[in-house]
Amino acid sequence: MPTRIPPESRTSTLLRTFAVALCAAGIVGGCSSAAPPAGGTAGSGGGDTGKAGGTTATPGGTTAAPGGTTAAPGGTTALAVPPGGTTSAPGGTISASGGATTAPGGTTSASGGATTAPGGTTSASGGATTAPGGNTTNSGGSTAKSGGNTANTGGDTASSGGNTANSGGSTAKSGGSMSSGGKTGGSTASGGGSGGATSSGGTTSSGGTVAGMPAAADILATLKLVIPYEIKLGPEDSSWVNKWTEATFYIGVMAAYLATNEASFLTDATNWGTKNKWTLLASPTRSPDNQCAGQVYEDIYLANPVASNANMYANMKTNIDAMVASPKPGVATSDDWYWCDTLFMAPGGVSRLGKITGQATYFSFLDTMWAATQAGLFDSKTGLFWRDTAHKSSAPTVYWGRGNGWVMGGIVRVLEYLPATDASYNSYVTLLKTMAAALVPYQQSDGTWHADITHPTATGMSNPEVSGTGLITYALAYGINQGLLDRTTYLPVVAAAWSGMMKCVTSAGLVGCIQATGSAPAAAATTETHDYGVGSFVLAASEIYNMVK
């Protein structure tokens, strides 16, 4: 059975030095060449100890998709050139791979020996026939659109100013990956075709684009791989069995259940809640870290809200009621939600209590507490959060990847149950939009956000970091799904993030590149895994599943 290294061992200076030596010797691949700097202070929130320094990387530096891209005329996005020596056809069209030829008039013939019908139409591969009048018939059940029709086998559809055919049912791209900065490396932008292009997996995206998104079946297969793997590893520490570390993982498990309706996920979460006797760690407690587990219990209850299940959220309610009676808003260390991580740990549980009980008091309490934390830690100049007041005054200023991920994920957890009529509803939406726009330029070419958002190439920070990336991606996907974020702008960002995170998942189901606990950016080794980081990944996967199912 897999084992998990105790957190105190992972974060020790000696083993960090040893790990760096292994990387330098080439024994361990995919990790940074330098040890993480020291100097951070441990905190009760999630993340590693250590503060970033060094030079600032130029934000938003995007990389083109591999293989050499060819931009088609007519305003289409650059596509990666398919293998087999294909060339761009006249009139803005692109020829398919495998030696297919381009017909006169700017249309494209599909591979596999199919022929192009007269009048600018395109025939699909596999012997399918093309209907007259510029329409396209696709084999394999894929959808074609007018106004720049495209034939794709396997269900993928793209629309551009010149018609495009792709063999194998996918857009011409390298590995489905996309570069950062909002450019897609394999998506075809609409150049006059009708909106609502169909992407792989049968999902629909607006604006006539094809996203390099995974199929729902592939996401489910990944979830059924990583969730059991993490459960076998067990909690970070036996005393943390119902603390925020495990709770974040099971929040993800419940999100996976609600998205996929996979019964085993509900069983896993229910078994965890039963083992914990539906109680919080160290109850009675005002600690948001200890209250995080309540969100899992509430989600299980809301999946079957009958009176006999009320015991699932009773202990959480008792603890939150005590805080409602004597709130301590603010960012002084004596206040309850004084560091940014807390905006994920507790608010979602309060929002759910409002839903369960129908009492607006919980929403009012939530709004007051959140507003005080945001007022003290949000940097309006950058659109990002400081982790706490100590980091607010640090030099250089540090914006922690997972810390900002906690806030983004917390917004989602609140909005899921906050009434749209709530006085602060639009404030949460505005914050989501502001942070989303601020974070996009810092997405790296590997698709992820690194531990130090604004210094992604600083010593020890050049590796991908999955826990922060997962939470950010979760929020972006939710925003798209709910119509709160512009689909055309953010869909490529989500797709790139998913591709980047999947490179950190092993065939056995280990989710790596996860920074250890602490209060500031620190290195994340390629094979380093932690339960809360797996939960962040599962949250992202679940919301993307909602997008493509």
Residue ranges and CATH numbers for the domains of the chain are 71-172+174-211 (no CATH), 216-548 (1.50.10.10)
Between helices 401-415 and 347-357, what is the axis angle to 10°? 10
Does 2 or 412 have the greater pLDDT score?
A: 412
Split at pLDDT 50, 70, 90, the class of 396 is confident
Contact in structure between 441 and 181 (CB atoms under 8 Å): yes
Mean pLDDT estimate for the chain: 73
Listed in sequence order, the residues at least 6 apart from 80 whose beta carbon sits closer than 8 Å to its beta carbon are 65, 66, 67, 68, 69, 172, 173, 174, 185, 186
**pLDDT of 494 strictly over 60:** yes
Look at residue 238 in the predicted model and tell me its pLDDT. Answer: 83
For the residues 519-536, what does the mean pLDDT come to? 97
Does 128 or 410 have the greater pLDDT score?
A: 410
Distance between CA atoms of residues 297 and 280, nearest Å = 10
For the residues 332-350, what does the mean pLDDT come to? 98
Per-residue pLDDT tens for 236-293? 888 888 999 999 999 999 999 999 999 999 999 999 999 999 999 999 999 999 999 9
Per-residue pLDDT tens for 343-382? 999 999 999 999 999 999 999 999 999 999 999 999 999 9
Distance between CA atoms of residues 22 and 14, nearest Å = 13
Does 330 or 2 have the greater pLDDT score?
A: 330
Does 312 or 130 have the greater pLDDT score?
A: 312
Look at residue 211 in the predicted model and tell me its pLDDT. Answer: 58
Contact in structure between 488 and 207 (CB atoms under 8 Å): yes
Look at residue 84 in the predicted model and tell me its pLDDT. Answer: 34
Task: Label residues 216-242 b or e (16+ Cβ within 10 Å = b).
Answer: bebbbebbbbbbebbbebebbeeebbb
Per-residue pLDDT tens for 93-140? 333 333 333 333 333 333 333 333 333 333 333 333 333 333 333 333
Q: What percent of the chain has pLDDT over 70?
A: 62
Does 304 or 110 have the greater pLDDT score?
A: 304
Which two three-digit tokens encode residue 169? 């049912």
Split at pLDDT 50, 70, 90, the class of 14 is very low
Distance between CA atoms of residues 146 and 194, nearest Å = 6
Distance between CA atoms of residues 311 and 322, nearest Å = 18
For the residues 506-534, what does the mean pLDDT come to? 97
Token pair 């009012």: residue: 364
For the residues 392-396, what does the mean pLDDT come to? 82
Contact in structure between 36 and 17 (CB atoms under 8 Å): no
What's this model's pTM, rounded to 2 decimal places?
A: 0.67
Distance between CA atoms of residues 255 and 299, nearest Å = 9
Contacts 24+ apart (CB under 8 A), 525-528: 525/19, 525/23, 525/28, 525/31, 525/463, 526/28, 526/29, 526/30, 526/31, 526/463, 527/28, 528/10
Per-residue pLDDT tens for 48-79? 333 333 333 333 333 333 333 333 333 333 32
Of 146-150, 429-433, 517-521, least confident by mean pLDDT is 146-150
Nearest to 148 by CA among 166, 137, 156, 136: 136
Q: What percent of the chain has pLDDT over 90?
A: 59
* Amino acid at residue number 311: N
Per-residue pLDDT tens for 157-187? 333 333 333 333 333 333 333 333 333 333 3
Nearest to 388 by CA among 366, 371, 373: 373
